[in-house]
Amino acid sequence: MRKNRFVAVVLGAFALTTLTQCFTNKKDEGKRLYEQHCQSCHMEDGSGLKGLIPPLAGADFLQTHRDQLPCIVREGMEGPVTVNGVEYNKEMPGIENMREDQITNLLNYIHTNFGNNNERYTMPEVEQLLQACPR
């Protein structure tokens, strides 16, 4: 009986260790994606570049254009945009090869950092919104 319990404990510990290792590549993926693709323009603190690149920190645009954000990440945007009452008109390149799960993680990072406390996206929501992107 003790041997079975010991085996069960060892197998359980092994399973937990293995399972947590499966998810470590996703841990902080949104932050890594932001640093890789967004930070050079929107800055480390999400403040943007005054007069050129809009802020993400405390940005009203995140809530008022929630349904468009997955498409903006993937396809970029050009033309004037107003964020927190200030107009910006600098082209933003898209990240065409970014997967739906990565877009979800990136947007959730932006939505819950830089002083933002916005509703998080779900994978099905992002997938559905990406299907509606203008091509």
Supply the pTM of this predicted model: 0.80
- Distances in Å between the Cα of 53 and the Cα atoms of 12, 40, 42, 59, 78 are 50, 10, 6, 12, 12
Q: Mean pLDDT across the chain, nearest whole number?
A: 88
Position 77, amino acid: M
Which residue spans within the chain are E strands per DSSP? 76-77, 81-83, 86-88, 92-93
- Confidence band of 134 (pLDDT split at 50, 70, 90): confident
Position 127, amino acid: E
In this predicted structure, what is the pLDDT of residue 22? 47
pLDDT at 133 over 70: yes
Residue 56 near residue 45, CB atoms below 8 Å = no
Which of 13-22, 41-50, 54-63, 112-121 has the lowest average pLDDT?
A: 13-22
The 8-class DSSP code of residue 113 comes to: S
- Confidence band of 29 (pLDDT split at 50, 70, 90): very high
Top CATH class of 27-131 equals mainly alpha
